[in-house]
Amino acid sequence: MKYTIEDLESKAKEVRKDIIKMILKAKAGHPAGSLGMTDVFVALYFAILNYDLQKPDWEDRDRLILSAGHICPALYATMAHAGYFDHSHLWKFGDFGGMLQGHPHKGFLKELETTSGPLGSGLAQAAGIAYSAKMDDQRFRTYCITSDGEQQSGNHWEAVMFAGKNNLSNLTMIIDRNNIQIDGFTEDVMPLEPLADKYKAFNWSVIEIDGHNFEEIINAVNKARAIYENPTAIIARTIPGRGVDFMELNPGWHAKTPTKEQATKALKEIRNMQGSIKEYGE
Amino acid sequence: MLNKKLYLNPDALNSRKVEQKHTRDGFGEGLLAAGGKDENIVVLTADLKDSTRVNLFADAYPKRFIEVGVAEQALASIASGMANYGKIPFISSYAIFSPGRNWEQIRTTIGIDGYPVKIIGAQAGLNIGHYGVTHQGLEDIALARVIPGMTVLVPLDYEEAKKATEQIAKLEGPVYMRLNRAVGPVITTSKTPFKIGNSEVLWSGKDPKVTIIGSGPILYEALLAAKELLKVSIDVMVVNCHTVKPLDELGIIRSAKTTGAVVTLEEHQVMGGLGSAISEVLSKNFPVPMEMLGVQDRYGQSGEVKELYEEYGLTKKDVIISVKKLLSRRGI
């Protein structure tokens, strides 16, 4: 099924509502990054990734590696909407014995590509998959979602060098450039800029986009597919807490659970979001 | 007497005549052989190709050899990705860096999902000599053995390293195998049986009163001690415990029941190593007096291998002292 931009915006609104409800129910989770990356996840699952729900381990599927495991509420809610599992599991997020562990754990949810959470390792895993695919002339693509905070990790840059050295053009990383991390704004904690120039210097192609604009997300991924020389970093500028006025751009909401009143307010704001996508990012 | 059923090297206890070879050469040759049998095997190294002997594989199968540079953390996680895809990665570095520097990446990206990544930690133990404290991996067994699902191997000699390498290539799940830098005596032969998870009695007198359990080339000191103790009519048993995890619990308990006392010997910190593992098993099942030879909560240093073994109490003489201590504790 082909989705229009309006369909995707509408899906994203539903996913955001689920994220707030999941975090409220679990009394734990990372709302800011999850809401901020919702549009990217929805674009990936409804307009980009090649997968087969009947055969989740299909060997030609595209791989999505979530390095920033803490924003798994967005991944879980999007996967539920895509049909990977029943919606009811979302309300058991982080529950004992539940398949949606507090950080993604492949042992509990086999449809995940990897177990993740500790920042800085996901790109290396994605690069290992992409390298193997190239060895065997496999055509699938590997996507990796990283946070901006994890760009501070040395481990991550080891993988950046590796992917650049080996011209892993089948690898696309989407960086959630939301400017916040646990201890505050990235540029105060440990500045990342000029981020795009850093990637270019490491033999990566770089595309900078508005991470809330579906056209830009989809176009950037398509453009990356057509780059045969090297891997691509898509720097997606996102608003942390996107859709909930009092959470937006506030580092305090990186890993905070809303109260019931705050959650009600948040849900109301998300309901009113329809059609406002374009105004926000500009 | 040396155990005849194991087809050990007849010259093993003739320290002048016994052939001296590297465990890392056994690994390199075993890897080359395994690579020829399974095209899924890939080898990654962090700028230590020749020293860890993966050069043999690299020359034979250049397309399956991957150099990641001085990047041990990515080494572990790239291998995780390759295993996730379906490859069987061997990653080689020095023990101090892998599993030392990259322990969390091994735990998270290899251990939790149980990927069949084979982690090779070379330059383990004091025997690296000249290069000193920063490069002497003395904590690697403790680090590896606390990771659930990790198989931990310490080959005794060149032959055993070769067999172990061919076997781990076929083993599901992650493995850590440590290798030495220095040459060591070739105690076993190509005919000597080797099975992951077993331990083997290399030497036993008629009525052994103490078991000496160890792993790696340092266990040679125990064999030399056993030979010398025989001259003064003290019978001991020497057990090669090449698999630190999963430990041959039954074999260890059986041996402790036979002799009633145990000395452990390893080129590793006594905390968290083979001695600790054996003590855990025996204290639960059949407690016996124990002496633990190893590095006693200290750092290493530069020096000749012999000098270092003497300084840290890992020689034949130290084994004999420990055996006698145990005998006197038991009033024998």
**SS3 letters for A3-65?**
CCHHHHHHHHHHHHHHHHHHHHHHCCCCHHHHHHCHHHHHHHHHHHCCCCCCCCCCCCCCEEE
**Tens of pLDDT, residues B207-231:** 999 999 999 999 999 999 999 999 9
A126 to chain B: closest CA residue: B81
Domain boundary among B159, B185, B211: B185
pLDDT at B270 over 80: yes
Q: Please indicate, yes or no, whether residues B152 and B267 belong to a single structural domain of this protein.
A: no
pLDDT at A282 over 80: no
pLDDT at B137 over 70: yes
pLDDT value at position A275?
Answer: 43
Ramachandran area for residue B53 (φ above 0: left; ψ -120 to 50: alpha; else beta): left
| Rounded Cα gap, residues B36 and A107, in angstroms | 32
**Averaged confidence pLDDT in chain A:** 94
Mean pLDDT confidence for B34-59: 98
Q: Which of A116, A132, A137, A144 to mutate to test the interface with B (most CBs of B within 10 A)?
A: A132
Identify the three-state secondary structure at position B189: coil
Distances (CA, A) of A153 to A114, A122, B242, B262: 19, 11, 37, 46
B115 to chain A: closest CA residue: A114
pLDDT value at position A137?
Answer: 97
Residue numbers in B near A65 (CB within 8 A): 81
**Tens of pLDDT, residues B271-310:** 999 999 999 999 999 999 999 999 999 999 999 999 999 9
Task: Specify the long-range contacts of residues A215-223, CB closer than 8 Å, at least 24 apart.
Answer: A215/A5, A217/A39, A217/A40, A217/A43, A218/A43, A218/A47, A218/A48, A221/A43, A221/A44, A221/A48, A221/A143, A221/A172
Mean pLDDT confidence for A75-93: 97
CATH of the domain at B227: 3.40.50.920
Q: Please indicate, yes or no, whether residues B35 and B152 belong to a single structural domain of this protein.
A: yes
**Tens of pLDDT, residues A168-183:** 999 999 999 999 999 9
pLDDT at A272 over 70: no
Residue numbers in A near B69 (CB within 8 A): 158, 161-162
Give me the residue spans of the domains in chain A: 5-281
**Tens of pLDDT, residues B8-46:** 999 999 989 999 999 999 999 999 999 999 999 999 999
pLDDT value at position A280?
Answer: 35
Domain boundary among B117, B150, B185: B185
| Rounded Cα gap, residues A37 and B10, in angstroms | 68
User: Domain residues for B48?
Assistant: 20-185
- pTM strictly above 0.80: yes
Mean pLDDT confidence for B153-168: 98
pLDDT value at position A281?
Answer: 34
Answer whether A158 sits within 8 Å of B112, measured CB to CB: no
| The pairing of beta strand B243-245 with beta strand B151-153 | antiparallel
Q: Please indicate, yes or no, whether residues B30 and B174 belong to a single structural domain of this protein.
A: yes
pLDDT value at position A1?
Answer: 64
Q: Please state which CATH class domain A5-281 belongs to.
A: alpha beta
Catalytic residues of B: 72
Determine the distance from the C-alpha atom of residue B174 to the mean position of all C-alpha atoms in its chain, rounded to a whole number. Answer: 16
A175-202 burial, b at 16+ Cβ within 10 Å, e below that, comes to bbbbbbbeeeebeeeeebeebbebbeeb
| Rounded Cα gap, residues B321 and B144, in angstroms | 30
Mean pLDDT confidence for A125-153: 98
Question: Any CB–CB contact under 8 A between A159 and chain B?
Answer: yes
| Rounded Cα gap, residues B280 and A15, in angstroms | 50
Judge contact between B92 and B122, C-beta under 8 A. Answer: yes
* Other Cβ atoms within 10 Å of A117 Cβ, number: 19
B181 CA to chain A: closest CA distance, Å? 27
CATH of the domain at B116: 3.40.50.970
A119 to chain B: closest CA residue: B105
Its ipTM equals 0.95
Sheet of B118-122: strands edge to edge?
B65-67, B41-45, B88-94, B118-122, B175-178, B151-153, B243-245
Domain boundary among B133, B168, B185: B185
Count of pairs with CB atoms under 8 A, one residue in A, one in B:
97
Q: Please indicate, yes or no, whether residues B121 and B213 belong to a single structural domain of this protein.
A: no
Q: Please indicate, yes or no, whether residues B74 and B102 belong to a single structural domain of this protein.
A: yes
pLDDT value at position B147?
Answer: 98
Distances (CA, A) of B319 to A77, B203, B305, B313: 62, 15, 17, 8
Q: Please indicate, yes or no, whether residues B132 and B204 belong to a single structural domain of this protein.
A: no
pLDDT band at A273 (very low <50, low <70, confident <90, very high): low
Q: Please indicate, yes or no, whether residues B118 and B223 belong to a single structural domain of this protein.
A: no
Q: Please indicate, yes or no, whether residues B130 and B26 belong to a single structural domain of this protein.
A: yes
Distances (CA, A) of A266 to A7, A252, B124: 21, 15, 56
* Nearest alpha carbon to residue B262 among B245, B275, B246, B244: B275
Residue numbers in B near A58 (CB within 8 A): none
pLDDT value at position B165?
Answer: 98
pLDDT at A253 over 90: no
| Rounded Cα gap, residues A127 and A137, in angstroms | 15
Mean pLDDT confidence for A12-30: 94
pLDDT value at position A274?
Answer: 47
Q: Please indicate, yes or no, whether residues B174 and B221 belong to a single structural domain of this protein.
A: no
B159 CA to chain A: closest CA distance, Å? 32
What's the structural domain count of chain B?
2
Question: Any CB–CB contact under 8 A between A181 and chain B?
Answer: no
Q: Please indicate, yes or no, whether residues B234 and B274 belong to a single structural domain of this protein.
A: yes
